[in-house]
A and B are shown apart, each in its own frame.
Chain A
């Protein structure tokens, strides 16, 4: 009968297709590693390791906004990567859920354990045990375009140190032309603004969370309102391009490289990009100021950890330890313009004489990182209360409504 042929063919095809091997197997150790899409030197590290070791690491880059979802699903499925480079802010949540390997004993053996960046070590600790070590150090600060400062008659050697001074500088720069703007923010990117906007609040002595992280202080701390009003002024006066209001972070780094933006919040990870890919960009950096002065920075970046369930804990640690060695820290990190994770190595031949790197690195001294297991739900989630509050306040100008909704949703998440 003719009718059975197509069905049988189909069956055969399915069987053949589903039995094809997807990847060749061999007996050497092969490990998987995940990293979010932030251009630290992870790829270079993995390449160097794979070239010189029997064990091989397969690196997967996960879009930052999806990292927690993907990681959670992989953990729930019992198939996490062996090694994960995690936004340090998520470590408490993963450690609390028992998803990371306790590496306290390994860390104790490290001769340089005390000089590893404190914020990262702190976030990698849960109930006194270590679960992660730093792998990417990234403080926030403001970059500014020296050429535009000069054209606008501003003194590039004396960058703004208060919000009012920043506003004046933005106005002067925006006045230079139709396509020139004083500032850039990515107002549809939750994480970008935790990184670069929260420090404005901190530097003024305020915060959105209480000291013990038990409650939200959005409506009770007047600085929060002032900071929102400050950014709202920037938007209302047209001191940022209109497209900034919908940027989901794609242009967080690249907007400033166009040469028509006076200032922008930025992180250490971007400096090598600027110096290597945009040698003509004449820029410098200054600390994120408070309302009347002061300085603060978000101690961001990535930590590296081994996921529970990995069958190669020893080998994974061997790789992690190597990433913190003098060799990797100087020849891969510093040589590529990335800040070493060991403080004593900030003084290195590659950074010598580069004031920008030194200022950027010194941001870490005023760096602060919130410690909460619901960080993602509060701040980084594109549908979280943080971004919604910023957009309603800054873009719509409804500061009262924004504060009220922020407080309500923060509280609900922190209680739940």
Chain B
């Protein structure tokens, strides 16, 4: 009798200990997570805080931790920075990104549908050709791309840069869209086919909605990658008026007369971070789907 009571008591206290241990571990986990999260957020936060300092304070040596006064002066200076101000560069980046998004989405959707649903001569060869470009890093074909873009007078045009970016996006886009179309059951299409709808109208009226998640994913990647790209923009744009944001920011870094306007640079960093962050945060699920779908499931 007493023995079982003691056993039960022992068990209860052992459970308690286990629960306590688990809770401590959980708390410990949170503490580590919070510390790491703060470290990860620090650079962005620090840049943001400094962009709000007065321009003179942003140049202070040594730097101050917190702004003595909150000011939007650095952003203001950006609007007239260089010859044309940041608005032109935001415009450039936006146009390039939107053309890239539109082009990648349209081409990937058409191509993905074709490869997923139709049989035609040389289909496998063509598909392998498209996919094999995944193995060719764009860095290794920049020289002939430059020569070609110059030949057709698209150098220094936002459209020319966007064409290059669309190409960089295509292999991934086709792959993803083909998988999206493959995931749609055949029956849905077949009934429409029997009703005599054309292939294009089936794609347009029926399929687009079903593969919308894939389209959003392709669009997000096209946007973020073209918005952030640096090397090709550096090579294909020589007219300062056409610089995209990342290239423009490096000109602040090197300064026109040798002085670096650090406050304005931080304001510029924030301006160029915000759109990608916003899109990512709003459509995170699709972004992660793309990462998993593109990288793992093949």
Within 8 A of A (CB), among B91-123: 91, 94-95, 98-99, 101-102, 105
Task: Collect the chain A residues with CB atoms within 8 Å of residue B156's CB.
Answer: 74, 77, 79
Contact for B159 among A13, A18, A73, A252, CB less than 8 A: A18
| B98 pairs with A17, CB closer than 8 A | yes
- B182 located at the interface, meaning its Cβ lies under 8 Å from any Cβ of chain A in the complex: no
Q: Say whether, besides A4-B204, A18-B95, A253 and B101 are in contact (CB < 8 Å).
A: no
| B256 pairs with A63, CB closer than 8 A | yes
- A320 located at the interface, meaning its Cβ lies under 8 Å from any Cβ of chain B in the complex: no
Task: Collect the chain B residues with CB atoms within 8 Å of residue A4's CB.
Answer: 204, 208
Within 8 A of A (CB), among B143-181: 146, 150, 153, 155-156, 158-159
Interface residues of chain B: helix, strand, loop or mixed (majority):
helix
| B258 pairs with A252, CB closer than 8 A | yes
| B235 pairs with A73, CB closer than 8 A | yes
Within 8 A of B (CB), among A1-45: 1-4, 7, 10-11, 13-14, 17-18, 22, 37, 39
Task: Collect the chain A residues with CB atoms within 8 Å of residue B254's CB.
Answer: 63, 65-66
A278, chain B: closest CB distance, angstroms = 15
- B197 located at the interface, meaning its Cβ lies under 8 Å from any Cβ of chain A in the complex: no
Within 8 A of B (CB), among A83-97: none
- Counted as pairs of residues, one from A and one from B, with CB atoms less than 8 Å apart, the total is 77
Task: Collect the chain A residues with CB atoms within 8 Å of residue B204's CB.
Answer: 1, 4
Closest residue of B by beta carbon distance from A69: B238
| B260 pairs with A250, CB closer than 8 A | yes
Q: Say whether, besides A10-B102, A74-B238, A76-B150, A251 and B258 are in contact (CB < 8 Å).
A: yes
Q: Say whether, besides A3-B209, A10-B98, A13-B98, A250 and B235 are in contact (CB < 8 Å).
A: no
| B258 pairs with A79, CB closer than 8 A | no
B80, chain A: closest CB distance, angstroms = 15
Task: Collect the chain B residues with CB atoms within 8 Å of residue A250's CB.
Answer: 255, 258-260
| A37 pairs with B98, CB closer than 8 A | no
- A220 located at the interface, meaning its Cβ lies under 8 Å from any Cβ of chain B in the complex: no
Task: Collect the chain A residues with CB atoms within 8 Å of residue B205's CB.
Answer: 1
Task: Collect the chain B residues with CB atoms within 8 Å of residue A108's CB.
Answer: none
A76, chain B: closest CB distance, angstroms = 6
- B251 located at the interface, meaning its Cβ lies under 8 Å from any Cβ of chain A in the complex: yes
Task: Collect the chain A residues with CB atoms within 8 Å of residue B212's CB.
Answer: 3
- A70 located at the interface, meaning its Cβ lies under 8 Å from any Cβ of chain B in the complex: yes
- A254 located at the interface, meaning its Cβ lies under 8 Å from any Cβ of chain B in the complex: yes
Which among A1, A18, A61, A77 has the highest number of chain B CB atoms within 10 Å? Answer: A77
- B189 located at the interface, meaning its Cβ lies under 8 Å from any Cβ of chain A in the complex: no
Interface residues of chain A: helix, strand, loop or mixed (majority):
mixed
Interface string of B200-221 (1 = CB under 8 A from A): 0000110011001000000000
Complex CA gap A73/B233 in Å reads 12
| B256 pairs with A37, CB closer than 8 A | yes
| A70 pairs with B238, CB closer than 8 A | yes
Complex CA gap A249/B238 in Å reads 23
A3, chain B: closest CB distance, angstroms = 4
Interface size class of B (residues with CB under 8 A): 20 to 34
| B257 pairs with A37, CB closer than 8 A | yes
Within 8 A of B (CB), among A242-260: 249-254
Interface string of A36-80 (1 = CB under 8 A from B): 010100000000000000000000111101100010011011110
Complex CA gap A275/B235 in Å reads 40
Complex CA gap A60/B254 in Å reads 15
Task: Collect the chain B residues with CB atoms within 8 Å of residue A74's CB.
Answer: 156, 238-239
A350, chain B: closest CB distance, angstroms = 23
Complex CA gap A39/B258 in Å reads 10
A195, chain B: closest CB distance, angstroms = 14
Complex CA gap A60/B239 in Å reads 9
Closest residue of B by beta carbon distance from A76: B150
| A14 pairs with B102, CB closer than 8 A | yes
Complex CA gap A182/B130 in Å reads 63
| B258 pairs with A249, CB closer than 8 A | yes
Complex CA gap A62/B238 in Å reads 10
Closest residue of B by beta carbon distance from A252: B258
Interface string of B61-94 (1 = CB under 8 A from A): 0000000000000000000000100000001001
Within 8 A of A (CB), among B254-271: 254-260
A38, chain B: closest CB distance, angstroms = 9
Task: Collect the chain B residues with CB atoms within 8 Å of residue A61's CB.
Answer: 83, 256
| A254 pairs with B102, CB closer than 8 A | no
Complex CA gap A17/B93 in Å reads 12
Complex CA gap A194/B205 in Å reads 68
Q: Say whether, besides A70-B238, A78-B150, A7 and B105 are in contact (CB < 8 Å).
A: yes
Q: Say whether, besides A14-B102, A18-B99, A1 and B209 are in contact (CB < 8 Å).
A: yes
Task: Collect the chain A residues with CB atoms within 8 Å of residue B238's CB.
Answer: 70, 73-74, 77, 79
A196, chain B: closest CB distance, angstroms = 15
B235, chain A: closest CB distance, angstroms = 7
Interface string of A218-257 (1 = CB under 8 A from B): 0000000000000000000000000000000111111000
- B199 located at the interface, meaning its Cβ lies under 8 Å from any Cβ of chain A in the complex: no
Task: Collect the chain A residues with CB atoms within 8 Å of residue B95's CB.
Answer: 14, 17-18
A36, chain B: closest CB distance, angstroms = 11
Contact for A17 among B94, B150, B153, CB less than 8 A: B94
Question: Which 10 A-B pairs have CB atoms at the shortest separation, nearest pair first?
Answer: A77-B155, A73-B238, A3-B209, A250-B258, A3-B208, A63-B254, A74-B238, A14-B98, A77-B150, A17-B95
Other than A1-B205, A73-B155, A254-B259, give 8 A-B pairs with Cβ distance below 8 A: A7-B208, A10-B101, A63-B254, A73-B238, A76-B150, A77-B150, A77-B155, A79-B239
Which residues of B come within 8 Å of A, CB atoms? 83, 91, 94-95, 98-99, 101-102, 105, 146, 150, 153, 155-156, 158-159, 204-205, 208-209, 212, 235, 238-241, 251, 254-260
Which residues of A come within 8 Å of B, CB atoms? 1-4, 7, 10-11, 13-14, 17-18, 22, 37, 39, 60-63, 65-66, 70, 73-74, 76-79, 249-254
Q: List 18 A-B contacts (CB under 8 A).
A: A1-B205, A1-B208, A4-B208, A11-B102, A14-B102, A22-B241, A37-B258, A39-B257, A61-B83, A73-B235, A74-B238, A77-B156, A77-B238, A78-B155, A79-B156, A250-B255, A251-B258, A254-B258
